[in-house]
Amino acid sequence: MENRIYWLGWQYLMPGTGSRLWSLVKYFGSPRVAWEAGEKELSGAPGLGAEKAAVLARRRSQVDPVREAEKLGCSGVAFICHTDPGYPENLLGIHDPPPVIFLRGRLKPADNLAVAVVGSRKPSQYGIIVAEKLAKDLAAVGITVVSGMARGIDSAGHKGALAGGGRTVAVLGCGPDVVYPRENSRLAKEIIDCGAIISEFPPGTPPEPWRFPVRNRLISGLSQGTVVVEAAEKSGALITADFALEQGRDVMAVPGNIVSPLSRGSHRLIKQGARLVEGAGDILDELGLEKLFPVPAPGDEGTIKMSDEEHLLYRLLSLEPLPLDKVIAGSGLPPQKAMAALMYLELKGLARQMPGKSYIRTGRDISFS
């Protein structure tokens, strides 16, 4: 618990530095020892030296981690340390995750099954329609859609996920309480209600250009795969794709108009081996999820496939919370099988866990096959 507070302090001092912050704490052995180190001791840390150590020590004297934690508690912004159970598992798998992330909304274990949808800030109408459709179809089968809440494709991806009744996570290049662009105020509220807004930058941090490429590694890091929809040759979406490759994640791209500059980046990715995406089914196939989460055929969007166990449990549930022990008893299934089926129902958006380990049916109007 103590280290958690000192990690928070360092995140306020060195947000967006990733590996540099990890290196500093590793040198001293713990975030507390590093925090209590004198200026001379700091100067011996890798990459600092006397001048940088003096600046860091001066800035450190102006930050009280305990006070900052108290302020966060009153502001509606939470913070999650990398040692906390709620820290995203996918982020822990990259080489330079932020030790602390700031959060509005709520992250869930189901968000580990996520796909990033990114692209141009000035897309064509085609790009907007495709991004919204892909995100909607992914969300409808329980895949969390991750993006950066920027203008254009990012916003379309978030809106599509919300339209699909699913979850979406926005990763910001500013503080989690700073809405950028401003016209996305309503979208930000909807994302908080149906997912989360996260950032490695403390509350109040303004949106400066250098912060957006840095945050892109978190967009890809949170996701099992990244889909690029319309990207020019020097698009920031290509930076996200590069991060995804470095992190060992899948990269996919949507083809576009061959004479449009907005297609050049996407087409280059496809030429280099990225999966060509024509629909959500291609994304699920690339991730090996096509059997678990079959995308409905055109005109059959109301059908979701379920196993016999899932179907049995779904019929037991209603809009009234049912305790877990009664779900298991009513199903007649072994506890492990019942728990697995419940997990898949949650991932498919058909059931939801409520406080007190009880479950409800989501009430979606669907048929079964």
pLDDT tens figures, 166-179: 999 999 999 999 99
pLDDT given at position 367 = 42
Please state which of the four CATH numbers 3.40.50.300, 1.10.10.10, 1.10.10.60, 1.10.30.50 is assigned to the domain occupying 303-368: 1.10.10.10
Burial bucket for residue 126 (CB in 10 Å: 0-12, 13-18, 19+): middle
* CA atoms of 162 and 62, how far apart (whole Å): 41
The pLDDT score that the predictor gives to residue 300 is: 45
* pLDDT given for residue 311 in this prediction: 87
Q: Chunk the chain into consecutive blocks of 10 residues (it has 369) and report each block's average pLDDT, rounded to whole numbers.
A: 88 90 94 94 90 93 93 92 94 94 96 96 92 94 96 97 96 97 97 97 95 96 97 93 97 94 96 95 90 53 73 84 91 90 83 82 51
Identify the pLDDT of residue 208: 94
pTM value surpassing 0.85: no
CATH code for the part of the protein at 109-286: 3.40.50.450
- DSSP string computed for 317-350: --SS-EEHHHHHHHHTS-HHHHHHHHHHHHHTTS
Domains in the chain: boundaries:
2-75, 109-286, 303-368
Q: What is the per-residue pLDDT for 366?
A: 45
How far, CA to CA in Å, does 262 sit from each of 157, 250, 335? 17, 21, 51
Is 163:194 a contact under the CB 8 Å cutoff? no
Please name the residues in contact with 96: beta carbons below 8 A apart, sequence gap of 6 or more.
18, 19, 22, 217
CATH architecture of structural domain 2-75:
Orthogonal Bundle (1.10)
The DSSP 8-state label assigned to residue 143 in this structure reads P
